[in-house]
Amino acid sequence: MVSGVHRKLTTILAADAVDYSRLMGEDEVATITALRRSRQIIDAGIDRHDGRIANTAGDGLIAEFPSVVEAVTCAIEIQRELTNLPQVQNGASTPLQFRMGLHLGDVIVDGQDLLGDGVNLASRLEAMADPGGILLSQQVYDHVHSKLSIGFEFLGDKRPRNLVEDVPVYRVKPVEASRNDRWTASLSHARHVAEQSVNQSVVDLTHGQEAVQDAARNARVNLSPRVKKAAIVLGVLAVIDLLNGLPFFVQWPALGVLLAIAWANVPDHVQTRRQLRYYRGGVALAGLFGIMLFSLTGLGWVILLALGLGALHLLRQAKPQKA
């Protein structure tokens, strides 16, 4: 890490005078005088709320506060005082208007200056504000909306200049607005979050339905032709058996067809080679059961084989587990 540079979490306030360059072009002396009057109010407000001015550049500044509530309260008081600032009697110094943006985020401290994405977002919010207005990030709004008796308006997700992602933006309503207006912002934000959740649920449900439909379609494509052909052949053989009478022989080709289908179509849950061996071993045992069952003298062998498999299973269950 570079010497003298470290990070911290803080509340950043960015402020900038409106149309400062144009006013300087029209009357430098009057504009500088107005800026000095405004800065007296701004500097006193920041100091009163335990803030610190970090960066200054002409008509703009960056300040930090240890408390989010104090930072927003400071911004509101400064804007109110600037609005009520009387015009100089000779008209040579018209009060300036300021835009403000606030964000709670991680910053880099380089000597007395603040740098980093947190400062950039506060500055971008300030640039998006109306003259005399205050914009807040989501992080600031979450801390103050239930602690200050002022109104907030949710402006939606906005894309600040030079940022790659949209961010939720809130506007502080004028102090004269009704105290109940702050609930409007809360309801608007709740509706926004609910709409996003519903939209995401619809997307997930649609994807799930498509996946199920694709799986069912693939299963029909893989199995249907074989099953239909086998059913037709076995149906013809069964009719022949019925016409000829006993003894029936259709069970033999039916057993062979069923075993071939079971052998070729391995279930999806069979993933490892060991599981595949167990599965096809079970198919082979089922075939052996069928052969013995359909043989005139094989019923006794079926019983013996079943008893043997049962005994083998009991022995495996009784085998002591290794430590």
The per-residue pLDDT for range 306-316, each reduced to its tens digit, is: 777 777 767 76
Q: Select from 173, 115, 112 the least CA-distant residue to 144.
A: 173
Q: Is residue 50's pLDDT more than 70? A: yes
d(CA 211, CA 259): 29
- Outline where 64-116 has alpha helix (H): 68-83
d(CA 98, CA 60): 9
The pLDDT score that the predictor gives to residue 189 is 61
The pLDDT score that the predictor gives to residue 297 is 59
d(CA 71, CA 13): 7
Q: Report residue 8: phi and psi, to 5°.
A: -160, 160
- Which of 132-136, 210-214, 230-234 comes out lowest in average pLDDT? 210-214
Q: What percent of the chain has pLDDT over 90?
A: 37
State the chain's mean pLDDT as an integer.
79
Q: What pLDDT, in 10s, does the model give residues 255-276?
A: 777 777 777 777 777 777 777 7
The pLDDT score that the predictor gives to residue 221 is 46
Facing residues of 104 across strands? 11
Q: Domains of the chain: which residue ranges? A: 5-179, 218-318
Structure-model confidence comparison of residues 247 and 123, the more confident one: 123
Q: Would you say 96 and 17 are in contact if contact means Cβ atoms under 8 Å apart?
A: yes
Homologous superfamily of the 5-179 domain (CATH): Nucleotide cyclase, GGDEF domain (3.30.70.1230)
The pLDDT score that the predictor gives to residue 79 is 95
| Mean pLDDT, residues 204-225 | 59
The pLDDT score that the predictor gives to residue 179 is 46
The pLDDT score that the predictor gives to residue 286 is 78
| Mean pLDDT, residues 291-296 | 68
- Cut 0.95: pTM above it: no
Q: What pLDDT, in 10s, does the model give residues 144-203?
A: 999 998 899 999 998 888 777 889 999 999 755 444 454 555 566 666 666 666 667 666
Decide: helix, strand or coil at residue 163.
coil
Q: Is residue 45's pLDDT more than 60? A: yes
Q: What pLDDT, in 10s, does the model give residues 27-43?
A: 999 999 999 999 999 99
Element of type H or E holding 34: helix 28-48
Q: Is residue 64's pLDDT more than 90? A: yes
Structure-model confidence comparison of residues 222 and 17, the more confident one: 17
Distance of CA 152 to the CA centre of its chain: 24
